[in-house]
Amino acid sequence: MTRWAMVADLERCVGCQTCTAACRHANATSPAVQWRKVLDIEAGAYPNVSRIFVPVGCQHCADPPCMHVCPTTATRQRADGIVTVDYDLCIGCAYCEIACPYQARFLVHKPHFAFDAEMQNEAERADPARFGVAQKCTFCSDRVDFGLANDLTPGIDPRATPACVNSCIADALHFGDVDDPDSNVSRLLCEQRSFRMHAELETDPGFHYLYGNANGEEQESVRPAADSAMAGGQIRTRGVEPSLQKHWDWKAASNFMCGGAGSGLFIFTALTSLWYGDLVPFGWAALGIVALGLSILMLKIGRPLRFIYVLLQPQRSWMTREAWIAAAWFPLAALALWSKWPALLIAAAGFAVLFLCSQAMILQAAKGIPAWRIAWAVPLIVVTGLAEGSGLFLAATAPFAALQPLAKTVAVIAVILTMLRGGIWRSYLAALKTRGAPTGALAVLYGYRPWFFAIGLALPLVLIVAGFAVATAAAPLFAIAGLCITAAGVAFKFILVTRAAFNQGFALVHTPVRGSGYAGPAVKPGWSLS
Amino acid sequence: MPGKPTHDERTVATYCYQCVAGPDLLKVRVEDNIATEITPNFDAATIHPAGGKVCVKAFGLVQKAYNPHRILYPMKRTNPKKGRNEDPGFVRISWEEALTLVADRLNAARAAGLTDETGYPRVAASFGGGGTPTAYMGTLPAFLSAWGPVDMSFGSGQGVKCYHSEHLYGELWHRGFTVSPDTPLCEYLVSFGANVEASGGVCGVKRHADARKRGMKRVQIEPHLSVTGACSAEWIPIKPKTDSAFLFAMIHVFLHEHPRDRLDIPFLEDRTSSPYLIGPNGLFMRDAVTRKPLMIDSATGRAVPFDTVGIDPALEGSFVVDGIEVDADEEIIAHKAVTACTAFTQLVAHVKDYSPEWAAAICDVPAATIRRIADEFLAHARVGETIEIEGMTLPLRPVSISLGKTVNNGWGGYECCWARTLIGCLCGALEVPGSTLGTTVRLNRPADNRWSSVKPGPDGFMQYPMNPTSKSEWISRPTARSAHRTLVPLVADSAWSQALGPTHLAWMMQSEDFDKLPVATPPDVWFVYRTNPAISFWDTKAVGEAMAKFPFTVCFAYTRDETNHVADVLLPDCTDLEGLQLLRIGGTKYVEQFWDYQGFALRAPAVPPQGEAKDFTWIATELAQRTGLLAAYNAAINRGAAGVRLSGKSYDFSLAPEAKHDVETIWDASCRAASAEITDGAESQGLDWFREHGFRVKPFPRLRWYLYPKLVEQKLRFEQPYQEQLFRIGKELGHRLHEQGIHWWDKQLAEYEPLPRWHDLNVLWENALAKHYSVRIADYPFWLITARSMQYSWGGNVGIQIIKEVADNVAGHGSVVMNHAAAERLGIGDGDLVEVRSPLNDTKGRVMLCEGIRPDTLLMIGQFDHWVTPYAKDFHAPSMNALMPMLLDLTDATGSSADLVKVKITRLEAAS
């Protein structure tokens, strides 16, 4: 087998960005679209300071999260390990960009130029297929393929070697087949110590970092006093520490806000319809809310006319599964609401649960976002969806006296769900803290915590208890409680998607030796735990 | 080649010489006659020290060609008023009109006499970037040669932004206009602020990366953690401008804390002046008859001339001898039975008090650290070991010291350059494999290689072309507005000398009189190419005001900029990818350009010129014709003014002198001559061959990297440690200046010390600023320094988007870099907008906080402050240039100062 991989020697790299510029040239990327770039990281506290230059880009993971989440099969993996993007299939949903823990993917919606006007070289190399779709480093696969077709060895012959490697003036970048024990990169990995970034995420990245001679002493320098400095935030980490993802904004969040509350409402509506009269309008409203979320999402994607391609990857992508579930659920739900057949209502409620679960799984599958990917995120999203549904149901039933007995039952369920949600929320936050998370994400979530408990738990509980105590005011009290439960859940998802969605950032397992001395300790800025 | 299928695709080989660390070779991918991609030239992989690669700057060349902000047509000024706030009112004109305008001015100047009533040339020219513009200006040097005297002393940054003292003293001591470690063999390098990873070019980066992998330890001593510091084994944050104390302490450790046999005694005895006897007046004791310096033969105890064969010179001691001292103006001081000690003994006494403990307080570096560095240096010197280079056995001394900008220029430059060179001598680590080497000559002749420039001079040293200081020969009437030959003997009189004098004097004299010097006139015609002194010099406000008074300025213009804002005519020349030129490559050049080959590379036009931009050779030829200088111009080309002499022993491709030759004819002849030169006349392929192959080389012996064999061959010594010659000519210069009534250069005269003493430069700087601006210097608590950037330095590429884009990935660009704790004390946060004010001026910028800088230091990388240059004017990046005063008090004896000023910082608004 062959597995193409990149090896970056941190002892050699000087951070000159020649590879960055060469990549921009070779691949004719738009300004600021840097498939390859070099980070400039400082660690330690004066005067014991390290400064490290770290080439980054697509790591061509063996188990690439971007591919797993891609709903269209646009992102694929070649037999030689190179992860590719088919611009003709990609719908520009940016899910892959969220899922990538290396910030390697870009989405450019329209042409933009170095200067105000398009230059001749930009016009000559313009590629309209790139707009509105995901793009990233290809390991210059065209050059690799050209080389293989012409008996050239990628990584050895420049014509078969990625442009960044060719251009590297420090000979810090190397490319080759890590499955070949005699290859250039295998030899380097054998002779020198190496690590892979974010290896703990188990994506098996194809990008190795050399940090010292294998024959050198395995000892760490005292030079970069990483922990103390990082704790105080006293290191220059712009562009290195986790940053808030920009790909999914309020439009993407709307899908989760509306999808959770809407599907929850539908579940309560469908199930209570088994015993109660005409609750059909609530069901239509629930579907409308979900449809609204999906429609707003359509505004977000880069290639909306290709939205149907979202159905192409049910075997892997939860986004595809969500689409298929929605595709089955909506007609089924419509039929159930129209026919009121109990079996159909139960089936439709079941699909609503699946839809809710698929939304939770969409977030959890995004490996690039620590606040989403932990297991507790799934029950939290599901339970808050159900709680929101119960809350909306309480609010919706308030005007109808005939439904008040039902409301009391639902209020009890709402209390149970809300308390369950509160418990899961605590476990979710505790898990984040225990396993480590971007400090930015924790700050946002902990900042929201009092509101979540006050509006989403304490106040509704008080109101519902009061409703039971003061029967004459039960309807409005339940309604307000329900709206509070819903608002807290919807706001939580808005915050989770648009405010707490800090990416993985960049991290080093070791700082490198520089000619003499020892490798330094790990650097992982912007994390609660390193 | 891979890539999308295209209509018409080709690659063109050319070179990049955008910075002094070039030239390097590259290829341009051209699709449908449009340049689209820069790539390395792997055809040169085996002959180029960096494998045929180019640095990030070269990747700006495509955008450079198609930049919509380019000036594409000749333009003339319509607003006669000049100044920052005056709109030049440039209007498009034809080349015919533009050239006529320029030629008329030139012809008028010529008719009035090549020099004006004050003796200064009527025509002046300023070129940027350490001579690199010559790689793009075609045959303009031939035109300037044909013209006659041209004042090149209006500086654009040299002196304050170059390795000035190193250039001058380096050439004197070891033909080292620029100095480099022998990186491929070096094992221990102490680098005082030398920013090789930013300014060493691809060869520097490659050689140092290879050296790191070999295990070379580099200790970086500088106030902030530069990219070079980042890539070093150790960073020592030294207080700005105190490096000489650290170096002196290293010498102290060598001489007072280690046994003598740790030093390279044979080297000191035979290759330096260490055994020379010093008389009571601080001059060499000389033989009364031959006037040769004396030393003691240990075997006989007798004083004998230094070149007496078969003696065993006494390195140390005091001796009673007869002899003479030859003082300034040939004054003979005869001695009988006088006590004289050796130069080495004087040196030992000289550094006795310069202990690490003494230096620690000055440098803010622990004494133990200084001592450890000295000990490690000595331990790595391998004194006594040898290596074979191309069949010759040479000493192997894999230790070196590099000096960076602000260390090796301005006050203190002399001390640092002397100490660095002397430390090499103490270990025998100068101009031998692994050690400190010079890389090029610019002041000595011939300049084509360092070996050729080694000629025997007086007293057993290499000959050096000092400007005369004797009564009969001293040049009392300056030949250029910087008075370089009048004031600076060391700067010599080569083609480069004018630009290496005190170039700020040329600007200062435009607004203030220097007593007893002719009143400086503005030049009748000023040519400007690839330089922008209005933002790149010090005290840029004053420079801008001075140039606004020049009557006629011709700028070869790429885009509008702050200097051509005051131009009368703008001439658009072909950019790097459009013009045609042949360039000498290889051998040893600037910085780390050590090749095993030498030859020529062609800058073949990859794409047609945009608009009406013209090849520089076409412009030069037109000017020559229109000024009636065609014959002299062609003759200059034939002599080699375009880079290669057109005739040799067995070939002659000379141009017909009276004819007007087109661009391709001129370069075809150059290519043929280059082919013939390389093949000793056997071949004569011309332009077409070079277009096809890009370059042509022949081997360059590695032995020639080292000057030591040449000195041994000629039985010469390095002029170390004792600077008797400088001491004497300093006195002579003082006599001449005082005879003329000039006393404003006295401070500089005091620098001519035979063994330089340490001076408190922090106090010198503070006192100069306090005195001239009547400020309380305590109100300016920070030292402001700068650093080079690989992305920008010398490139003239600040208006190129891709350069800005990638430079922004490197921390510090466009910011005021400040220590986190220091900022916290002042309530300044990351990203805050601040004003940084020196006693002269202020600049504004956003703060970038980091740990890798001293708490008493601020850093501003590169040179910005653009207010006209398209794109760059919107950066809002701070620049220290406007904050740097031009003061005689801050000018050293070589005529240079350093990028250093005291400032205060004020927070203006919070981070956005």
- Chain B interface mutation, best of A46, A152, A188, highest count of B Cβ atoms under 10 Å: A46
How far, in Å, are B122, B200, B230, B669, B819 from residue B852 at the CA level?
49, 21, 9, 54, 7
CB atoms within 10 A of CB B113: 10
Give every CB contact of residue B810 below 8 A, 6+ residues apart in sequence.
Answer: A15, A16, A17, A40, B227, B789, B790, B791
Task: Looking at the complex, report in whole angstroms how far the Cα of residue B785 sits from the nearest Cα belonging to chain A.
Answer: 18
Question: What are the beta bridge partners of residue B24?
Answer: B16
Residue A70, SS3 per DSSP: coil
Q: Do the chains contact at B31 and A124, CB–CB below 8 Å?
A: yes
Residue B218: closest CA among chain A residues belongs to which residue? Answer: A515
Q: Which of B55, B225, B819 lies nearest to residue A16, judging by beta carbons?
A: B55
CB atoms within 10 A of CB A402: 9
Phi-psi region of B899 (alpha: psi -120 to 50; beta: other; left: phi over 0): beta
Give every CB contact of residue B517 below 8 A, 6+ residues apart in sequence.
Answer: B478, B483, B486, B509, B742
- Give yes or no for a contact between B281 and B272, defined as CB atoms under 8 angstroms apart: no
Q: Is A128 on the interface with B (CB under 8 A)?
A: no
Task: Looking at the complex, report in whole angstroms how far the Cα of residue A43 sits from the nearest Cα belonging to chain B.
Answer: 8
Question: What are the beta bridge partners of residue A194?
Answer: A210
Q: Show pLDDT as tens, one digit a residue, over chain A (530 residues).
A: 899 999 999 999 999 999 999 999 999 999 999 999 999 999 999 999 999 999 999 999 999 999 999 999 999 999 999 999 999 999 999 999 999 999 999 999 999 999 999 999 999 999 999 999 999 999 999 999 999 999 999 999 999 999 999 999 999 999 999 999 999 999 999 999 999 999 999 999 999 999 998 766 555 554 443 343 343 344 566 789 999 999 999 999 999 999 999 999 999 999 999 988 788 999 999 999 999 999 999 888 999 999 999 999 999 999 999 999 999 999 999 999 999 999 999 999 999 999 999 999 999 999 999 999 999 999 999 999 999 999 999 999 999 988 999 999 999 999 999 999 999 999 999 999 999 999 999 999 999 999 999 999 999 999 999 999 998 999 999 999 999 999 999 999 999 999 999 999 999 999 999 998 888 889 999 999 74
- Give me the amino acid identity at B601: A
Question: In A278-317, where does DSSP find H-type helix?
Answer: 280-300
Give the model's confidence band at B449: pLDDT under 50 very low, under 70 low, under 90 confident, else very high.
confident
**What is the complex's ipTM, to 2 decimals?**
0.97
Cα dihedral sign, B870-B872-B878-B881: negative
Chain B residues inside the 8 Å CB shell of A15? 227, 230, 809-810
Q: Do the chains contact at A16 and B205, CB–CB below 8 Å?
A: yes
Task: Say if residue B471's pLDDT is above 90.
Answer: yes
Domains and CATH numbers, chain A: 4-231 (3.30.70.20), 250-498 (1.20.1630.10)
- Give yes or no for a contact between A91 and A82, defined as CB atoms under 8 angstroms apart: no
Q: Do the chains contact at A121 and B34, CB–CB below 8 Å?
A: yes
Task: Looking at the complex, report in whole angstroms how far the Cα of residue B32 sits from the nearest Cα belonging to chain A.
Answer: 8
> How many residues appear in chain A?
530
Task: Looking at the complex, report in whole angstroms how far the Cα of residue B232 sits from the nearest Cα belonging to chain A.
Answer: 6
Task: Say if residue B559's pLDDT is above 80.
Answer: yes
* DSSP single-letter state for residue A133: S
List, for residues B224-240, the tens digit of each pLDDT value. Answer: 999 999 999 999 999 99
Q: Is A234 on the interface with B (CB under 8 A)?
A: yes
How far is the C-alpha of A410 from the C-alpha of A391, rounded, in Å?
A: 9
How far, in Å, are A505, B174, B184 from residue B436 at the CA level?
43, 10, 12
How far, in Å, are A3, B582, B686, B898 from residue B666 at the CA level?
53, 10, 10, 41
Give the model's confidence band at B5: pLDDT under 50 very low, under 70 low, under 90 confident, else very high.
low
Among B576, B435, B437, B476, residue whose Cα is nearest residue B57: B576
Q: What mean pLDDT comes out for the span B325-342?
A: 98
How far, in Å, are B13, B48, B354, B584, B700 from residue B694 at the CA level?
5, 13, 54, 12, 19
Give every CB contact of residue B52 below 8 A, 6+ residues apart in sequence.
Answer: B24, B25, B26, B40, B41, B42, B43, B44, B45
In B17-151, DSSP assigns E strands to 24-31, 34-40, 75-76, 91-92, 123-127
How far, in Å, are A164, A259, B152, B351, B889 from residue B497 at the CA level?
41, 77, 9, 33, 22
Query: Strands B75-76 and B569-571: what pairing?
Result: antiparallel
How far, in Å, are A13, B121, B423, B550 from residue B724 at the CA level?
45, 35, 18, 43
How far is the C-alpha of A193 from the C-alpha of B30, rounded, in Å?
A: 41
Q: Do the chains contact at B32 and A42, CB–CB below 8 Å?
A: no
- How many CA atoms lie less than 13 Å away from B207 in the CB half-sphere? 24
Task: Looking at the complex, report in whole angstroms how far the Cα of residue A48 sits from the nearest Cα belonging to chain B.
Answer: 8
Residue B206: closest CA among chain A residues belongs to which residue? Answer: A170
What DSSP string runs through B101-120?
HHHHHHHHHHHH-SB-TTS-
Q: Do the chains contact at B855 and A46, CB–CB below 8 Å?
A: yes
Q: Do the chains contact at A25 and B810, CB–CB below 8 Å?
A: no
Taking a contact as any Cβ pair under 8 Å apart, which residues of chain A between 142 and 161 contact chain B? Answer: 142-143, 145-146, 158-159
- Give me the amino acid identity at B896: S
How far is the C-alpha of A153 from the C-alpha of A438, rounded, in Å?
A: 41
The H or E element that residue A323 is part of is helix A318-339
Q: Which of B40, B205, B217 lies nearest to residue A14, judging by beta carbons?
A: B205
List, for residues B662-685, the tens digit of each pLDDT value. Answer: 999 999 999 999 999 999 999 999
Query: Strands B594-603 and B695-699: what pairing?
Result: antiparallel
Task: Looking at the complex, report in whole angstroms how far the Cα of residue B801 sits from the nearest Cα belonging to chain A.
Answer: 6
Residue B621, SS3 per DSSP: helix
- Chain B interface mutation, best of A36, A40, A116, A120, highest count of B Cβ atoms under 10 Å: A120
Q: Do the chains contact at A167 and B31, CB–CB below 8 Å?
A: no
Q: Do the chains contact at A21 and B806, CB–CB below 8 Å?
A: yes
What are the domain boundaries of chain B?
164-443+709-738, 760-909
How far is the C-alpha of B204 from the C-alpha of B197, rounded, in Å?
A: 7
Chain A residues inside the 8 Å CB shell of B229? 51
List, for residues A187-210, the tens digit of each pLDDT value. Answer: 999 999 999 999 999 999 999 999
Among B159, B149, B5, B70, residue whose Cα is nearest residue B574: B70
Taking a contact as any Cβ pair under 8 Å apart, which residues of chain A between 165 and 224 contact chain B? Answer: 166-172
* Alpha-carbon dihedral angle through residues B264, B270, B275, B276, given to the nearest 10 degrees: -150
Q: What is the pLDDT of residue B4?
A: 53
Residue B830: closest CA among chain A residues belongs to which residue? Answer: A236
Chain A residues inside the 8 Å CB shell of B65? 121
Residue B35: closest CA among chain A residues belongs to which residue? Answer: A121
Query: Strands B436-438 and B332-342: what pairing?
Result: unpaired
Query: Strands B553-556 and B525-529: what pairing?
Result: parallel
Taking a contact as any Cβ pair under 8 Å apart, which residues of chain A between 406 and 425 contact chain B? Answer: none
Q: Do the chains contact at B62 and A145, CB–CB below 8 Å?
A: no
Q: Do the chains contact at A514 and B216, CB–CB below 8 Å?
A: no
Give every CB contact of residue B181 below 8 A, 6+ residues apart in sequence.
Answer: B189, B400, B402, B435, B436, B437
Q: How many cross-chain Cβ pairs, A to B, lie less than 8 Å apart? A: 213
Q: Which of B65, B807, B851 lies nearest to residue A46, judging by beta carbons?
A: B851
Q: Which of B209, B810, B811 lies nearest to residue A170, judging by beta carbons?
A: B209
Task: Looking at the complex, report in whole angstroms how far the Cα of residue B857 sits from the nearest Cα belonging to chain A.
Answer: 13
Assigned token pair, A230: 């990082």
Give every CB contact of residue A376 below 8 A, 6+ residues apart in sequence.
Answer: A424, A427, A428, A431, A432
Cα dihedral sign, B805-B807-B808-B814: negative
Taking a contact as any Cβ pair under 8 Å apart, which residues of chain A between 68 and 127 contact chain B? Answer: 114-117, 119-122, 124-125
Whole-number CA gyration radius for chain A? 26
Q: Is A241 on the interface with B (CB under 8 A)?
A: no
Among B704, B714, B174, B248, residue whose Cα is nearest residue B430: B174
How far is the C-alpha of B135 from the C-alpha of B582, rounded, in Å?
A: 8
- Torsion angles phi and psi, residue B371, rounded to 5: -65, -40
Q: Do the chains contact at B807 and A17, CB–CB below 8 Å?
A: yes
Residues B472-489: b if buried by 16+ CB within 10 A, e if exposed: eebbbebbbbbbbbbbbb
- Give yes or no for a contact between A433 and A527, defined as CB atoms under 8 angstroms apart: no
Q: Which of B31, B60, B819 lies nearest to residue A46, judging by beta carbons?
A: B819
Q: Listing from the earlier edge strand, what are the strands of the sheet with B277-278?
A: B277-278, B332-342, B318-326
Question: What are the beta bridge partners of residue B639?
Answer: none
Task: Say if residue B1's pLDDT is above 80.
Answer: no
List, for residues B266-288, the tens digit of each pLDDT value. Answer: 999 999 999 999 999 999 999 99
Q: Do the chains contact at A171 and B209, CB–CB below 8 Å?
A: yes
How far is the C-alpha of B464 from the C-alpha of B719, rounded, in Å?
A: 11
Chain B residues inside the 8 Å CB shell of A50? 230
Assigned token pair, A221: 């320098």
Assigned token pair, B906: 């004020």
pTM listed for this prediction: 0.96
Q: What is the pLDDT of residue A227?
A: 40
Assigned token pair, B504: 């700020």
User: Per CATH, the architecture of B164-443+709-738 is what?
Assistant: 3-Layer(aba) Sandwich (3.40)
Q: What is the pLDDT of residue B244?
A: 98
- Give yes or no for a contact between A351 and A329, defined as CB atoms under 8 angstroms apart: yes
Q: Is A235 on the interface with B (CB under 8 A)?
A: yes
By the 10 Å C-beta count (0-12 exposed, 13-18 middle, 19+ buried), A187 is classed as: middle
Q: What mean pLDDT comes out for the span B171-179?
A: 96
Higher pLDDT, A520 or B211: B211
How far is the C-alpha of B50 from the C-alpha of B206, rounded, in Å?
A: 6
How far is the C-alpha of A361 from the C-alpha of A319, rounded, in Å?
A: 9
Q: What is the pLDDT of residue B816?
A: 97
How far is the C-alpha of A30 from the C-alpha of A34, rounded, in Å?
A: 8
Among A58, A53, A38, residue whose Cα is nearest residue A103: A58
Give every CB contact of residue A350 below 8 A, 6+ residues apart in sequence.
Answer: none
Q: Which of A11, A17, A142 lies nearest to residue B2, judging by beta carbons?
A: A142
CATH fold label, B760-909? Barwin-like endoglucanases (2.40.40)
For residue A47, is the peptide bond before it cis, meaning its omega torsion is within 30 degrees of 0? Answer: yes
Q: Which of B53, B69, B214 lies nearest to residue A169, judging by beta carbons?
A: B53
Task: Say if residue B531's pLDDT is above 60.
Answer: yes
Task: Looking at the complex, report in whole angstroms how far the Cα of residue B202 sits from the nearest Cα belonging to chain A.
Answer: 6
CB atoms within 10 A of CB B336: 8
- Give yes or no for a contact between B663 and B582, defined as CB atoms under 8 angstroms apart: no
Q: Do the chains contact at A12 and B212, CB–CB below 8 Å?
A: yes
- Chain B interface mutation, best of A112, A516, A518, A523, highest count of B Cβ atoms under 10 Å: A516
Assigned token pair, A377: 């995120």
Task: Looking at the complex, report in whole angstroms how far the Cα of residue A149 sits from the nearest Cα belonging to chain B.
Answer: 11
Span of A261-265, B513-517, B635-639 with lowest mean pLDDT: B513-517
